[in-house]
A and B are shown apart, each in its own frame.
Chain A
C-alpha cells in the first residue's frame, strides 16, 4: 500500500488505475482515525449487544433424546440411598479419625449391588510451575520416593459393566467426598449417586459401562479426580510408589475388606478400567443455601476456557427444568445486577426493539431490561471464568483428556427432615439417571453441538460466529492505524527531504533514501523485540522466585518487581544502547515504535483469540484504546488544545488501568470490594494462574506487559 502511494506520488503525470480493493485499503488507512473510532465503539457496542443476540439452546444431537423415557428410579432406590446416608453419618460419629471406615462402607454397598470395586490410592500432586509445560498434554506425574503414609488419598471406584454392551465406552459419575470432615451435603451427594448406581445395576438398557468415582477430597476435589484420571489414562507401569503404599498399615487394612458378597472376585486392589470415557458428571450437594427453590448450578469452564459440548449442558438443563422442576443456575457476577447504567442500557435496547416491533411485527429481537441485565451478568462471568483459564471444578480434569464433563451442584431449599431428603434424592437421582440415559443413547461421541460458546442464561448461548464479531471489530483498527502511522512517518520525512533537494536529483538519491527509510522500522522492531524478550524473562522469573523458601506473597511480589525492573535496565543497556544515538536522530521515531507495537499487539491478540478467546477479548478491551491513543505527552502539552488535553487525560487513565497489577486490583475491587485487594493477592493470583497452566499468564507476561511498557515509553518519549 505504502509503495503504491509512493509510486503515485513520485510521477505525477500518469494516474495509474488502482484496483478497488487497494483503493479501499488506502481509503481506510488514510481515514484510520475515524475508522478506528467507529470500529472500537461498534466493537464495544456489539459486546453489549451479545445478550440480545443470544439464541435459545436446542438439543443438536438427535440420539440424545432426553426425557423421552420415563424415569425408573423408584422409592426402593431412594431408600437404598438413604441407607447409605444413614450408615455414613453414623460411622462418622463412631470413628472420625480416619476415613477408612466410610470408604469400606461405600465399597461394601457397591459390592452389594453387584458392581466391581477397587480402591485407588494416590498422592496429592502439587501443581508446580513448569516453564516449558504450557499446553503440553498431561503426563504421568513424577515419582517421588519419600511419601509418608499420612498423605494418602483413597478413591473408591465402582464399575458397572453393561450387560450386553461391548465395554468400549464408559460414563463417569464423580462424587467428591472427604471422609475426615464429611459435611452432610457430601454424604447426601453420595446417597443420590448410590441410588442411581443401584438402579443402573438392574436396568437392561445400559450400553456403556458406568464408573462411579468417590473422589477423596481431603487434598482438594480436583487433585483426587486428576490423580485418578492420570492413573486411568497415563499409567506408570514401573513405579515405586505402589510398593510404598503396601507398607502403610492403614492401606493394608483397607484391602482386607471382608467380602461376603456372592461374587468374591469382584473386589480387587488392582486398578480397574472401563473403556473410553464419553462423558463425566460431577455431582455435589451444597450444605446450606438461601435459595427459595431447589436449584441446580452448572459449572462448565475447564482450563484455558475450554467448554464441554453444549449438548451436555442442554440435556441437564432440559431434564432439570422440564422433568424434575429444578431451577437451573449458571454462575453470574452478582455485582453486575446492581449497575444502574446497565439497566438503562437494557431499557434503551428494549425500547429500540419495541420500535422495531411496531414497524414490523416480525422483528422480535428485544428482551426485557431485567433479563438483559441478568444475561449480561452471566455473560460477564462466563467471559471472566473462561479468561481466567482456571477450571471451576473437578470437571476440569476431564477436559484435559478430551472428555466432556460438567459439575452439577444441587443446592436444596433448607431443612434436613426425612421427607425433604427423600425428595432431593429422588429428584436429583432422576436427573442424573436421565442424563446418563441420554448419554448412553449416544452412538458417537459428543460432536454435534458447539464447543465454543458463551452462556447468557442456562438456556441461551452466544456462539462463536456471533461473539467473534465484537472481537474482530475491536482489533480491526490495529492494522490500519499501524499502516497509517508507518506511511505517515515515511511520507512526512520524504516530503521534507523532497523539498530541500533539487528535482533533477530526486530519482537518484531517492532510490537510496527509500531503501534506508523503508528499513528504518527495523530499529523500532528491535526495541519492541527487546521488550517482548523482557516480557518472556519476567514470565519465567516466578519459577525461580518460588524456589526461595519461606517467602510471603508480598515479599515474593516485591522481589519479582525488582528483578523485572533490573532485567529491563540490563537488557536496555546491553542490547538497545549502541543504536540509541541513531534512533535519537529520527524525528518521528515514536510513530514507528507505535506502529510496530500495534502490529505486535495485533498478532498477540489474534493468537490469543485462538487459544483462549475470552482472554483476548478482555485484553483487547484494555489494550486497544491504550495502543491507539498513545502519543508523546510532550507533543500534546505543546499543542495545548482541548483535544490534546482530553487525550492526555485518557492516556494517563489508560496507562494506569492497563498495567496488569492495576487491572487486577481494579477487577478484584469491583468484584469483592477494595478491602481485600493487596499486593500479596496479586502474587497469589499469578501463582494460581501458572499452577493451572493458564494461557492467560503467558498472555499477560508476553503480550500485555510489553505492550504496556512500550505504550508508557511512547507517552514519555522525548521528541
Chain B
C-alpha cells in the first residue's frame, strides 16, 4: 500500500504544481502586463535582551486597471473601502504592550514604522476637497470598526480625532489622525485581518500565527497600511497596495531552572520557529509570488561578532558569509540560507547588518521549514537607538492642575551620529513633536517652558515653528505641533506645559471612569535622520517588498508613553443618596421660600384676632396652652375645665402605653 501511495501522491503534487503554473501563466497572459500580486515574508531578529523579534510582512497589490470590480487575490472589502471613501493612504494599527526603545532599538526601519502606541491608531489621507473629509472620515471609522471588530467608531466623534498640519510628511490638511489608547487587542482583531490574506492562515508563512503564542509576547502590533495610486477621478479604478504587517516580540522559552547562573547567564537563548510558535512552515502559500524568511543580525550584533572573531584570529567576512557559516563559532543555524545580504555601509555607521534569506518554497510538508539558531558563546550588544530618547510624564498632584512634561535625553549612540554633523559650527538637531490632548485636559499653551541641559531657555530660541489649535470644550481636542532646533551638544531637554483638569458631564464619563483618562502618545520624530538599510546584491530586491521597504528613506520616529490623568469623578455608586439629599434640600428650600412669599405682613395677627372674636373651641385652647408651656412661660390658664384636659391627657397616655405594649409584644413574639 505504501508503495502504491507514494507515486500517487507524487502525481498529485506534480499536477498541482502544473495547475498552479498554468494559472499563473494564464493570468499573466490575460493582461500582458501587471497583475495582482501577493508576497509573504517573515523577518526574524534576535534582540539584546534575550528576546526575538518576529515581523510578518504580507503585501497584496492590485494594479490600476484590473478587471473591473473583480479581484483574484486582492481583498474586495479593502478595494471597496478605498473606492468609496477615496482613501489615498491609510494606516491602522492594533497594539498591545510597549515597544522598548532602549533595548530593542529605535533607529531601524522596523521600530520607526512598526513601533506603535498601545491601543488603536488610525490615520488616513483622503483624496477629496477639504469640506468632504470629515464626513468621509466618520464613515471610514464605522466601516473599519465593522471590518476589524474593534470600537474604531469612537474615533468618529470630533473630540477624538485631529487634523495635523505638518507633522506627517505627506499631510496637506487632508489627513486625519486619531488614537484609542484603551482599546484591548485580541484574537477577534486578528481574525478579520487574516481574512484579507489570500491563504488566510491555512498555508504559507501565516500558518505560524498560533494565537496563544503570538499573544503571549511582550509586544504585539498588527498593522494595515494601504496606499492607492492613480487618478482620483470617478469611475476609474485605483491601483491599491495593501501592506499587512504583524510585529511580535517573543521570549523564547529557555530551560531556566537548569541554567548554571553565572557562567551561562549571558548566553542568548537558542530558539527555533517551532519552539517560539509551536508550528513549522510547510511550504509557501501557492498564491504568493515569493515566500521568504529572513534572519537579520543588526549592526551592533555584527560588530560584536566581528570583535569576537578578531580575537579568535579568523577572517571576518568569511566567518559570517562563507559557505560554512553554520560552523560559525558563535552560533549555528539549523537551515542553510539561500542567500546572504550584507548591508551597504552607510554614512552613519561603519558596521553593516547581515541578512540571511531562506526560501520557503523549497520546503514541503514532508520536510517542513524550521529555522533555528543555537548560540554557543555569550554575547552582549546594543541595538541602535534613536538620537534622543523621548519620555513623557505627568507632574503635579491633586485634582486641580498638573503639567505634562516631555523629556528628551540624548542616547549614548548619538555622539557617533553627531560626529558626522559636528564639523560645522552651528550643528542643530531637528525634532518634531506632535501632541494631541483631549479637551477635558485644558492645556495652557502659554505656559510652555523649555529647559535645555537643566537651564531654562527662551521658547523662541529653541522652537522654530509651532502650530497650535486649542481645544474646544466637547468639540475638538487640542493639538500642538512643534519643530524644535536643539544644539547637538545638549544632553537633555525638557518641555513642560501646564493644564487644568476639566469637568465632564455625567454621561460623558466612560465606563470605569475612576481609572482616569488617557492622554494619547505624543509622536517625536527626527527628520534629520533616516532609517534605511540598503543591501548589496540587489538583483532580486525588486521582488522582495520587505527589503524595498527597508530601503525607503523614512524618518526616525518614536512614540511616547500613554499618560493617565486622574480626573474628579462623581460617586456613581450613590445616585440614590444623591437624589434623596438633593430632593430634601430642594423641598426644604422651596417650602420655606414659598411660605415666606405667601405670608403677608401682620396677616396672621388679624386672622387670630378674628378667631378670638368668635368663640374658640376646645382644641385651640389646648394648643395655645401647650404652646405657652413649650415657651417655658407660666401663663394664666384660660377658663376651661381642668378636669377635661387631664382626662384627655390620661387618655393620650393610655393610648401611647397601649401602642408601646403592642409594639413590644410584636417584637417579642413575632420577630
**Interface of A with B (CB < 8 Å)?**
5, 8, 11, 13-18, 23, 26-27, 30-31, 76, 112, 114, 137-138, 161, 163-169, 204, 233-235, 237-239, 242-243, 260-266, 270, 273, 275-276, 359-360, 362, 400-402, 443-445, 447-448
* Interface presence of B207 (CB below 8 A): no
- C-alpha spacing A260/B395, complex, angstroms: 34
Assess whether B380 is in contact with A262, with CB atoms less than 8 Å apart.
yes
B352 at the interface (CB under 8 A from A): no
Q: How far is the CB of B612 from chain A (nearest CB, A)?
A: 7
Q: Check A27 against B630 for contact (C-beta < 8 Å).
A: yes
The interface residues of chain A lying within 8 Å CB-to-CB of B141 are none
Is A443 touching B512 in the complex (CB atoms < 8 A)?
yes
**Chain B residues numbered 255-274 whose CB sits less than 8 Å from any CB in chain A:** 257, 265-266, 268
Indicate if the CB atoms of B456 and A238 lie closer than 8 Å: yes
Assess the B604–A263 pair: CB atoms within 8 A: no
Question: Is B668 among interface residues, defined by CB-CB distance under 8 A?
Answer: yes
In B590-619, the 8 Å CB interface with A consists of 604-605, 608-609, 612
Looking at A8, A14, A261, A447, the one whose CB has the most chain B CB atoms below 10 A away is: A14
B102 near A266: Cβ-Cβ < 8 Å: yes
A-B pairs with lowest CB-CB distance, top 7: A444-B514, A30-B632, A168-B564, A166-B118, A237-B451, A14-B608, A401-B397
Contacting residues, chain A, for B516 (C-beta < 8 A): 168, 276, 445
B312 CB-CB contact with A under 8 Å: no
Tell me how far the C-beta of A262 lies from the nearest C-beta in chain B, rounded to whole angstroms: 5
Interface stretch among B92-100, B225-233, B419-427, B653-661? B92-100
B393 interfacial contact with A, CB 8 Å: yes
Is B455 interfacial (CB-CB < 8 Å)?
A: yes
Indicate if the CB atoms of A275 and B397 lie closer than 8 Å: no
CA distance A445 to B568 in the complex (A): 12
B73 interfacial contact with A, CB 8 Å: no
CB distance from B400 to the nearest CB of A (A): 8
CB distance from A276 to the nearest CB of B (A): 5
Among candidates B257, B405, B604, B624, residue contacting A237 with C-beta atoms closer than 8 Å: B405
A443 touches B515 (CB 8 A): yes
- CB-based contact A166/B454 at 8 Å: no
B181 neighbours in A (Cβ, 8 Å): 166
Q: How far is the CB of B391 from chain A (nearest CB, A)?
A: 7
12 A-B residue pairs with Cβ-Cβ distance under 8 Å, sorted by A, are: A15-B628, A23-B627, A26-B630, A138-B397, A164-B218, A235-B405, A238-B451, A264-B380, A276-B394, A276-B566, A360-B667, A447-B514
Q: Within B490-521, which residues are at the interface with A (CB < 8 Å)?
A: 492, 494, 496, 512-516, 518
Residues of chain B within 8 A of A138, CB atoms compared: 397
Name B96-110 residues within 8 Å CB distance of A.
96-98, 100, 102-103
Residue in A closest to B215 when the chains form the complex, CB atoms: A164
Please indicate which of the listed interface residues A18, A265, A275 has the most CB atoms of chain B within 10 Å of its own CB: A265
Q: Which residues of B contact A444 (CB under 8 A)?
A: 512-515
Q: Decide: A16 and B604 in contact? CB cutoff 8 A.
A: yes
Q: Given that A238-B451, A444-B515 are contacting pairs, would A13 and B627 also be in contact in the complex, using a CB cutoff of 8 Å?
A: no
Complex CA–CA separation, A17 to B449 (angstroms): 69
Report the bound CA distance from A137 to B216 in whole Å.
Answer: 42
CB distance from B627 to the nearest CB of A (A): 6
Contact indicator B103/A266 (Cβ below 8 Å): yes
B515 and A265 form a contact (CB under 8 A): no
Other than A273-B393, A275-B564, give 17 A-B pairs with Cβ distance below 8 A.
Answer: A15-B624, A23-B630, A27-B630, A164-B96, A165-B98, A166-B181, A235-B405, A237-B405, A237-B451, A237-B454, A239-B454, A276-B516, A360-B671, A362-B671, A443-B512, A444-B512, A447-B569
Taking the closest CB of chain B, its distance from the CB of A219, in whole angstroms, is 23
Interface positions of B from 262 to 314, Cβ below 8 Å from A: 265-266, 268
B49 contacts across to A, CB distance below 8 A: 114, 262-263, 266
Contacts of B380 in A (CB 8 A): 260-262, 264
Contact yes or no, A137 B398, CB < 8 A: yes
Do A16 and B514 touch across chains, with their CB atoms under 8 A apart? no
Nearest A residue (CB) for B565: A276
Give the distance to chain B from A310, nearest Cβ to Cβ, in Å.
15
Give the complex CA separation of A17 and B218 in angstroms. Answer: 79
Closest Cβ–Cβ distance, residue A428 to chain B (whole Å): 23
Per the bound structure, the CA–CA distance linking A427 and B468 in Å amounts to: 55
Chain A residues contacting B399 (CB-CB under 8 Å) are: 402
Q: Do the beta carbons of B566 and A265 come within 8 Å of each other?
A: no
Contact A166 B562 (CB under 8 A): yes
**B515 closest partner in A (C-beta):** A444
Residues on B with beta carbons closer than 8 Å to the beta carbon of A166: 97-98, 118-119, 181, 562
Within 8 A of A (CB), among B444-462: 449, 451, 454-456
Residues of A near B409 (CB, < 8 A) are 270
Residue of A27, A138, A243, A362 with most chain B CB atoms under a 10 A cut-off: A27
Question: Once the chains bind, are B512 and A275 in contact (CB under 8 Å)?
Answer: no
CA distance A362 to B119 in the complex (A): 54
Which of A5, A237, A238: most chain B Cβ within 10 A? Answer: A237
Total A-B Cβ pairs within 8 A = 150
Query: In the assembled complex, how far is the CB of residue B668 from the closest CB belonging to chain A, in whole angstroms?
Result: 6
B563 at the binding interface (Cβ < 8 Å)? yes
A275 and B573: CB pair below 8 A?
Answer: no
Q: How far is the CB of A84 from chain B (nearest CB, A)?
A: 14
Nearest CB of A to B256, in Å? 8
Contact status of A263 and B609, CB under 8 A, knowing A169-B564, A275-B563, A445-B566: no
The answer to the question of B642 belonging to the interface, with a C-beta cut-off of 8 Å to chain A, is no
Q: Which of the listed residues B102, B456, B496, B569 has the most CB atoms from chain A within 10 Å of its own CB?
A: B102
| A17-B608, A445-B515 as given contacts; A163 in contact with B218, CB under 8 Å | yes
Min C-beta distance of A242 to chain B, whole Å:
6
Contacts of A266 in B (CB 8 A): 49, 102-103
Complex contact B266–A164 (CB within 8 A): no
- Which chain B positions have C-beta within 8 A of A30? 630-632
- B612 CB contacts on chain A under 8 angstroms: 13-14
Interface residue ranges of B68-103 to A (CB < 8 Å): 96-98, 100, 102-103
Interface residues of B in 553-579 (CB under 8 A from A): 561-566, 569, 573
- Find the B residue at minimum CB distance from A362: B671
Instruction: Please name the residue on chain A nearest to B381 by beta carbon.
Output: A264
Q: How far is the CB of B255 from chain A (nearest CB, A)?
A: 14
Contacts of A402 in B (CB 8 A): 397-399, 566
B395 & A17 in contact (Cβ 8 Å cutoff): no
Which residues of the partner chain B approach A360 to less than 8 Å between Cβ atoms?
A: 667-668, 671
Whether the Cβ atoms of B566 and A234 lie closer than 8 Å is no
Taking CB atoms, residues of chain A closer than 8 Å to B357 are none
Q: For residue B216, which residue of chain A has the nearest CB? A: A204
Instruction: Verify A275–B566 contact, CB threshold 8 A.
Output: no
Known contacts A14-B612, A262-B50; A5 and B631 CB within 8 A of each other: yes
Query: A163, A243, A270, A359 — which one has the most chain B CB atoms within 10 A of its CB?
Result: A163
Q: Is the CB of A263 within 8 A of B48?
A: yes
Cα–Cα, bound, A264→B382 (Å): 7
Task: Decide: A233 and B627 in contact? CB cutoff 8 A.
Answer: no
Chain A residues lying within 8 Å of B382, measured Cβ to Cβ, are 264-265
Are B50 and A233 in contact, with the CB atoms below 8 A? no
Q: Tell me if B169 counts as interface (CB < 8 A to partner A).
A: no
* Neighbouring A residues of B397 by C-beta, 8 Å: 137-138, 233-234, 400-402
- B residues within 8 A CB of A17? 604, 608
Interface string of B116-132 (1 = CB under 8 A from A): 00110000000000000
B483 CB → nearest A CB, Å? 21
Judge if B396 is at the interface, Cβ distance under 8 Å: yes
CA distance A116 to B563 in the complex (A): 20
Residues of B within 8 A of A26 (CB): 630-631
Contact present for A242 and B454 (CB under 8 Å): yes
Q: How far is the CB of B67 from chain A (nearest CB, A)?
A: 44
A690 to chain B, nearest CB (A): 22
Count chain B CB atoms within 10 A of each CB in A27, A137, A234, A276 and give the residue with the most: A276
CA distance A168 to B671 in the complex (A): 54
Bound complex: CA A234 to CA B395 (Å): 5
Q: Which of A31, A76, A263 has the most CB of B within 10 A?
A: A263
Instruction: Give the residue of A11, A161, A262, A275 whose beta carbon is less than 8 angstroms from that of B48.
Output: A262
